[in-house]
Every structure is written in C-alpha cells, then in structure tokens.
Chain A
Amino acid sequence: MSGTAVSTLDQAMSPAESRLSHRASRHIKEKIIESVLFLAALVSVFTTLGIVYILVSESVVFFSHVPLWDFLTDKQWTPLFDDAHFGIMVLLSGTLVSSGVALLVAIPLGTVIAVFLSEFAGPRLREIVKPMLELLSGVPTIVYGYFALLFVTPLLQRFMPELPGFNLLSAGLVMGIMIIPTVSSIAEDAMRAVPMNLREGSYAMGATRLQTALKVVVPAAFSGIMAAYILGISRAVGETMILAVAAGMQPNLTWNPLEPAATITAFIVQVALGDLPHGSVGYQTIFAAGLTLMLMTLVFNILGYWLRKKYREQY
C-alpha cells in the first residue's frame, strides 16, 4: 500500500535522504497516535477520579452540617422535614432486606443452574440456554419494576391479602430473578475452569456425576463461585428502578420484607424527581447516600476481584 508512495519519493530525493525523512515523519505520527490512544485509555481513570471527587466534595459539605456519628446511628431519616434527621440506617435496612430477598432467590437458583450447565447439560443445550439467560439480564430494570409492581405484587396478594401494594418482597423476588444470569454465568465459568483430570479421577473412583459435581468441582471452584455471589450482591445493592417502582419511597426502618421501605438508591431517585435547589442540604444528602452506596459496592467488587484472581492462579 505504502510501497508506491515510497518509490515516487525515491525518485525526487536521494535514497538515503528520503528514507530518513520518511522514517522521522513516521516516528512523529506514531508518537501522536500513541498519545491520543493513551488519553482515551485515561478517560476511565478520570471517570473514577470524577466520581470520587464529586461524591467526597459534596459529602464533606454535608458532614459539616450533620455529624458522622448521627448519620450512622440516628434511627430516623427525614432530610426534607423541618426537624431533619439523617440516619442512613433507615435506608440501609431497606437496601439490605431487599438484597437479602434477592439473594435468597439468586444464590440457590444461580448455583443450581451453573452446576447443571457446567456438569450435566450437553454442549447443544448450553449453546441454546446461555444466550437466553443473557437476554434475561438485558431486560431494562424499569420494565422489571413494572412487572414487580403490577404482576408479582397482585399475584402475591392472592396468597397474602394483607400485603401492601408497595413491598420489599416482590421487588426483591424480581431482582433475584434479574441477577440469576450474573451469578450463574460467573459461577459456571469458574466450574468449567476446573481441569478435566480432576473430574476423570473422580469418575474413575466410581463417583456419579452429582457426587463429582458437589464434592470435586464445586470445592475446586469455590473462590470463583464466591466471586459470583459477591458480584450478585453488589448488583442487588446498586439496583435502583425495581425498588423505586415496586418497594415505595417511604423511609422505613424495618427488617420485614412484607413492608414498604425506601432504599438508598430509591431515595436518590426520589430527591432527583423533586426540585431541590443546588447547594441545599437536601441536595447534598444524595451525595452522602451515594458515597455510602459506592463504598459498599467497592468493598464487594474488590473482594470479588481478589477471589477471581485467586482461582485463576490456582491451576
């Protein structure tokens, strides 16, 4: 391609001269391109720095109004009232209860599906099922919210007539279904990374498929499976729209999934829907709430990353 360009240059200048100048311009162009690509890669670092800067700088202002101790121990969350209380525990309870319900669904089902797909299903079934599970995780969360509020809740109310229209249970159940693909696909990857000779050894001893799966493959892939659970938890904690739609936006310090309660994420949505003046304490609460959320998911993500790295190095 560049061969013709070089030969026309050669005719104009002496061979050595042309080659040198050509090489120099090539060098500059290469350097420029490399720097541009490097800057593009740095954008992700700037995004993280931006997130940390915004959350911390707004939270610092917030914590100059509200002592950190009150934030962590107060049992009321009424940031928009005259008698303002800022007890993050109230929102945290909603987040923990709904995530708990979701995990009670996602962990058993996700694990069983992962074991089934990795150890029992033939390659053809796997080829069909895996993309379908991927589609399941691609459904917009607002649609899951609609489904939880207007399908799952009425369904549950047939069995539990006293269940309120907004409740953590239906939101948690739907959220659990939503994160099954995340859990099952990472857990399955971990199990398939277990070397075949471990399985063969087990079969040679006369173990059945199930015995091999539960006593050899699952323990060998344990840290990878834990990583799958942790990423599932971190998705549940950060989930917003299902909860904002189906669990209500009323702050409520409760451990009962049958009640309505706001989560950290639902609170941020609620404030954002209203028209808070920029710079007010109410405006800054969402950044403090966001910082709490970010710290929680960060811990889970680091733990998951560490576990996955560990199982990768094992064999």
Chain B
Amino acid sequence: MALQSPAEIRALIANHKRWDIVFGVIGIVCLAICLMTFVTLFVDMLIDGYARLRPEFFTEFPSRRAGQAGILSAWIGTTMVMIVTAAVAVPLGVAAGIYLEEYAPGNWMTDVIEINISNLAGVPSIVYGLLALGLFVYQFGLGQSVATAGLTLALLILPVVIVATRESIRAIPGAIREAAYALGATKWQVVQGHILPYSTGGILTGVIIGMARAIGETAPIITVGALTFIAFLPPSPVTTEPPFLSFEWLMSPFTVMPIQIFNWTSRPDPAFQANAAAAGFILVFMTLAMNGLAIWLRYRIRRNIKW
C-alpha cells in the first residue's frame, strides 16, 4: 500500500467515488420502480374503468348486465360500516391511549397491554375475520350484518388509533402537565383541559389513516360472510315517525366497495372487469385522499406547534 504512486491513489479514490454515484443511481431507479408501479396502477384503473365512471354508476344497484350495474349499495354499505367502525374505534382507542400514557402504573399489567397492542398490529386481517365469524356472527348472534362488519374493522384499526393517540400525547411537554397540577387540577382535568385539546390533531391523523385502512379491507368482511349481490338498501336511519331514529340498519345485510370489486374482478366477462376498475379507481382515490389529508395534517401540526 505504501508503495502506491499518487496516480494510483487518485485512481483508487476516483473509483470509490464512482461507486457512490452508481449507488445513488440504483437508489433512484429502485424508488422510481416503486412510484412508477403506483402511477401505472392508478392510470391502468382509470383507463379500464373510464367508460363506466358516470353519475349513474353511483346510483345503480349491481346488476346481471354489466352495463347497468352500479355501486349504490356498495358505497352506502361502506359508509354505514365506516360509521360503526369510527363510533367504536375512536372512543375506545383514544381512551386506551390516554390510559396508557397518563394513568397506567409501571407494572406487569401495563406491559401485557403494551406488548399485546404491538402484537395485534401484526395479526393478519383475515384472522380478525375468523374472530368475527366465531364470536360476533355465531356466539353474539349479530349475524352477517353492518354491526358485525363495523365491529370487526373497529378491532382491526384499534392498534392504529391507540398508537397515534399515544404518540401525540407523548409529544406534549411535561411542563404543561406540571403547571396544571400545580394549580390543583386533578388528573382528569389535566387530560380534559390540556392533553386532549393539544393532541387532537395527532389523534385525528391516526384516525384518518386507520379509517383509510378499514375502507379498503376485504378479507375480514368476506370471512364474516357478507353477501356479494345486494340489490337493496339497508333501512334508513331516519324515520318519519317518532322517535325519528331507527337502528334497524345495524342488523341489515350489506355489501361494501372492496367486496363489490372482488366480485366483479373474479368474473371472466371483461365488461364486469371494467366495472371493477371503475369501482377500484374510486376506492383508491378515496384512500389516497384520506391518506393525503392525514399527511397534510401531520405536516401542518409539525410546523405550527412549537412548545
């Protein structure tokens, strides 16, 4: 080594630097492959389904004739299931997050809950479907209803909501809590008056990401046994007679967007596959919009909050 001439050393350095550039190019190519796949997927769906993306597509029931089929029952079903999911997952997830950050003593019980949550986040979604099939459908007798699907998806996104809640609570400096305690506030007053308001943005981000995941979940809902051909709507939640609210829709059979797409994709007729592409495009657009909103919210929070 010591005997190398300056020219040789220069060549060696140039060679090493060249590898730096080569790797940089490889990295960009890999990133491009990922992002191009994504763009291709989006454009492919748009091209395949473009002819079907008309207003009637949203107001027609599924039909045996591909040209007349629409996603009315699917998007209404998705909306109803999402309402149940949010109504269950948000309060439970936020409450659990608050408990773990603000109340939980450092004992084995807390450890069990924490390990359990990180483990649940890794359970395949279809296993939640089996849980729902055994527990909600048969043991609780909820049947193959909106309520079953909503509860299943709520359990599925619970870890997402809990983790988001905990992270945004953890970002609040301890001095804020101490100041409130010093004025004689109780724990709940601190949580209610300070912790919750300051962490709302972060929690909202997590909730939106969780809902975006739930909206596209197919496997657990198929496992529950949701019907794929639904040409009617669940009973309306608002009635003309007192008490003007009806909860019959919770127990109604339903279909959701991903199941409708699955059903159309698995038919050999290309006309139905065009329907699947159109519905798929709408679904991707919805999840993109939700994720985009969450990312934007997170960016804004990070920029605006300076403790």
- Which A positions have Cβ atoms within 8 angstroms of B? 1-2, 26, 29-30, 33-34, 36-38, 40-45, 47-48, 50-51, 54-55, 57-58, 109, 112-113, 115-117, 120-121, 129, 131-136, 138-147, 149-151, 177, 180-181, 208-211, 213, 231, 234, 237-241, 244-245, 265, 268-269, 272-273, 278, 286-287, 290, 293-294, 297-298, 300-302, 304-305
Contacts and interface: CB of A to CB of B under 8 A. Distances in A.
Closest 7 CB pairs of A and B: A140-B216, A238-B124, A116-B27, A40-B95, A54-B134, A37-B99, A240-B219
B187 A146 contact: no
Given A47-B120, A134-B295, A208-B16, A290 B216 contact: no
B75 to A, nearest CB: 14
B280 to A, nearest CB: 5
B35 to A, nearest CB: 6
A211 B112 CA distance: 42
Interface stretch (B18-26, B66-74, B169-177, B238-246): B18-26
Nearest to B215: A140
A213 B188 CA distance: 48
Interface of B: 16-17, 19-20, 23-24, 26-28, 30-31, 33-35, 37-38, 40-41, 44-45, 48, 91-93, 95-96, 98-100, 103-104, 112-113, 115-120, 122-131, 133-135, 138, 155, 158-159, 162, 186-189, 193, 209, 212-213, 215-219, 222-225, 228, 258, 261-262, 265-266, 273, 276-277, 280, 283-284, 287-288, 291-292, 295
B122 A234 contact: yes
Given A47-B131, A58-B134, A150-B48, A269 B16 contact: no
A138 B159 contact: no
Contact of B216 (A129, A141, A238, A245): A141
Contacts of B118: 305
B25 to A, nearest CB: 10
A293 B126 contact: yes
